[in-house]
Amino acid sequence: MTPRLATVLRSIVLVLVVLVAAACSSRSKDGPAASSDKPRVAVSIFPLWDIARRVAGDGLDVVLVLPPGRSEHSYDPTPKEMAQVAKSKLGVSVGLGMDGWLEKIVRGAAGTDVPIVQLGPKANPRRMTAEEVGAEAAEEGEEHDDHADDKAKHEHEHDKHADGREHDDGDHAPKPEPKGAAKGEHDHHGHNHAHGAEDPHFWLDPVRMKSVVPELVEAFSKLDPKGAEGYKARGKAIEAELDKLHAELEARSKGWTKKTIVTFHGSMGYFAERYGLSIAAVIEPFPGKEPTARYVKDVLAAVEKSKAAALFSEPQLDRRPAQVIADQAKLPLFELDPVGGSAGAETYEKLLLKNADVLDKALK
C-alpha cells in the first residue's frame, strides 16, 4: 500500500467515525432527539464559550469543544466530542498557535467552508518574555524552527525534482496530523510558546476580553442577521460587566504586597501585566512535559534571586513537578486556573475572581 493510499484510507475512516458518532448522538432512549434549528457555533475553550453563549442568548446553539478539566495544550477529541460539532456553521477559537485543533475538527466534521473566527489576533496580543517560557523552551523552540525550515526546504526540493516539475498543494493527499498528546505527553512544538512569540492567553485580561466582544457580535450577526440587534445589545451589556470585573480586580491587586511569582507555565502573562505582578519563572516550559533537572536548577536560582513569594500549579496539569520545586524552594504552592469551567469557576467572571482569591492568600 502506498503512503498516499494509506492517508486517503485513514481520512475515509475518520469521516465514517464522525458520521456514525453523530448519528448515535442524535438518538435518545426514546428514539430520535429533536435537533435544534438554531445555527450551531463551536467554541474551543471555556472562557470564550462563556462570553460567546451570553452574546448569543437564545439565538444560537453555542457548544463548548474542550471539556472542563482538560488542558487546551493536550486536547485529543473523542468521536463523541467531534460529533457535537458536526453541524457547526461557525467556529470560535483563540488562535495564535493555541487551539489549531478547533479548526481541524470543525472543518473535518462540518465542512471545509465553515468560517473560523480567531479572537487572539484581535486582542492586541503581547509578546511572551523569556521568564514566561523558560530559557530551555526558547532554545529548543529556536532549534525546532531551524529544523522545520530545513525540513520544509528539503521536502520542497524533493517534490520539485521527483518528476522534474514543481508540485502544487493539490498534488498531494493531506498528511495526517499527529494526535494530541495525553496528559503529561504534550507535543510542545504544536504551540507557539517561545520567547518573543505572541502570547495566546489573552482571555486572562478582562480588558482584552472586552475588546473582542464586538468581534463575536459581528460574527454572530453575519451568521444570523435577524438576531443582530439582540447580539449587539447583549454585547454592550457584557462589556459593561467586564468593566466592573476589571475594576474589582484592579482594586484587589492593590492589596497584593508581594509582587513576584512563579507560575506553572506561560499562561498568566496578561493577568500579571495588567495587575502589576512579575513572573520570575515558569515550572513547565512545555505544558505537560516534566522539566529537566537542569531546568529545575535554573528555576530554583530564579526563585532565590527574585525573592518570589509563591509557586502556582494548574488544575488541568500534573501538580507533582510544581510540588517538587516548591518543596526544594521552601515556598507555598497554590493553584491558579487558566481555563475554568469547573466548580467555583462556572463563569468567566468567577474564574478570574477565584484566581484573585488565591492571590489574596498568596501575596498579602
CATH number at residue 265: 3.40.50.1980
| 181 and 301 together in one domain | no
| 328 and 283 together in one domain | yes
| 209 and 280 together in one domain | no
In a domain, 76, yes or no: yes
| 311 and 257 together in one domain | yes
Nearest to 316 by CA among 293, 338, 301, 344: 338
CA dist 47 and 52 (Å) reads 9
Residue numbers of the domain that contains 335? 248-363
In a domain, 243, yes or no: no
Virtual torsion, Cα 64, 70, 76, 79, nearest 10 deg: -50
| 216 and 318 together in one domain | no
In a domain, 160, yes or no: yes
| 180 and 322 together in one domain | no
In a domain, 95, yes or no: yes
CA pseudo-torsion sign 100, 105, 108, 112? negative
Q: Write down which residue in 190, 207, 228 finishes a domain.
A: 190
311 sits in which H/E element: strand 310-313
| 271 and 325 together in one domain | yes
Averaged pLDDT in 10-residue chunks for the chain of 364 residues = 46 44 38 63 98 98 95 85 93 96 94 97 97 68 44 43 39 35 36 75 98 98 98 98 98 98 97 98 92 95 97 96 97 98 97 98 97
In a domain, 274, yes or no: yes
pLDDT tens per residue, range 89-122: 999 999 999 999 999 999 999 999 999 999 999 9
In a domain, 46, yes or no: yes
What pTM did the predictor assign?
0.79
| 107 and 146 together in one domain | no
| 82 and 217 together in one domain | yes
In a domain, 165, yes or no: yes
| 140 and 256 together in one domain | no
Number of domains forming the structure of the chain:
3
In a domain, 254, yes or no: yes
Counting beta carbons within 10 angstroms of the beta carbon of residue 84, is it exposed (0 to 12), middle (13 to 18) or buried (19 or more)?
A: buried
| 323 and 231 together in one domain | no
| 219 and 297 together in one domain | no
